[in-house]
Amino acid sequence: MKRIVIFASGSGSNAENLIKFFHNSDKASVIQVLTNNPHAKVLDRCKKLNVSALSFNRVAFSKADDVLNILKASQPDLIILAGFLWKFPEFILKSFNNKVINIHPALLPKYGGKGMYGMNVHQAVVENKETETGITIHYVNENYDEGAIIFQAKCSVLSTDSAEDVAKKIHLLEMQHFPEVVNELLK
């Protein structure tokens, strides 16, 4: 059984979708969810789904070895950042080389980098009158949103679409593709 650990900072709809998908798998399972936000909705979702979840603070994550040691004990085959907003420390990346992936709600390299998360991304897409956008699943390296791309899926942006409309389309793409891409990656 392959072991998946998810990092999330907020709602956690992607975390929930992944957890449910792998509940029915005999090949992989989400064994743990970690969050920097003790009030994140993802924690409620984990409780309902019976998945172990922990929150941590910045020192435990970026300065001390606490989160690194949790991960070493969990021995994940894959670490998934799903709506995780803190920069992933290099010393943790080194211990899990090529095992950390992220989902980004735009077609990287467009609309990536610091500050480009959540509605900021979709607002920028609408303001720039893009005719298409999408999702990118990519490896995580030491720079925000710059690791090798694993998968992209596109959707159209209509001239009448608001940022909220775009967010809904992106959400659908994420729900549709993310678990399958992870499943393939683990093979």
- Contact between 28 and ligand GRF (CB under 6 A)? no
Residue among 80, 98, 106 at smallest CA distance from 147: 98
- Contact between 76 and ligand GRF (CB under 6 A)? no
User: Could you give the CA distance from residue 49 to residue 32 in angstroms, rounded to a whole number?
Assistant: 11
Which of the ranges 31-39, 47-55, 71-79, 99-107 carries the binding residues for ligand GRF, by CB under 6 A? Answer: 99-107
- Contact between 11 and ligand GRF (CB under 6 A)? yes
Q: Which residue among 105, 112, 134, 179 contacts ligand GRF (CB under 6 A)?
A: 105
Nearer of residues 15 and 108 to ligand GRF, judged by Cβ:
15
Nearer of residues 60 and 116 to ligand GRF, judged by Cβ:
116
Nearer of residues 28 and 135 to ligand GRF, judged by Cβ:
135
User: Long-range contacts of range 147-151, CB-CB < 8 Å, 24 or more positions apart?
Assistant: 147/102, 149/108, 150/101, 150/181, 150/185, 151/177, 151/181
- Contact between 152 and ligand GRF (CB under 6 A)? no
- Contact between 36 and ligand GRF (CB under 6 A)? no
Q: Which residue among 5, 80, 83, 122 contacts ligand GRF (CB under 6 A)?
A: 83
- Contact between 13 and ligand GRF (CB under 6 A)? yes
Buried b (16+ CB within 10 A) or exposed e, 3-38: bbbbbbbbbbbbbbbbbebbeeeeebebbbbbbbbe
Q: Cα-atom radius of gyration of the chain, to the nearest Å? A: 16
> Smallest distance, Å, CB 55 to ligand GRF?
15
- Contact between 82 and ligand GRF (CB under 6 A)? yes
Active site residues per annotation: 104
User: Could you give the CA distance from residue 88 to residue 103 in angstroms, rounded to a whole number?
Assistant: 13
Count of positions (residues) in the chain: 187
Phi then psi for residue 121, to 5 deg, are -65, -50
User: Could you give the CA distance from residue 41 to residue 35 in angstroms, rounded to a whole number?
Assistant: 10
Sites of contact with ligand GRF (CB under 6 A): 8, 10-15, 82-83, 103-105, 118, 170, 174
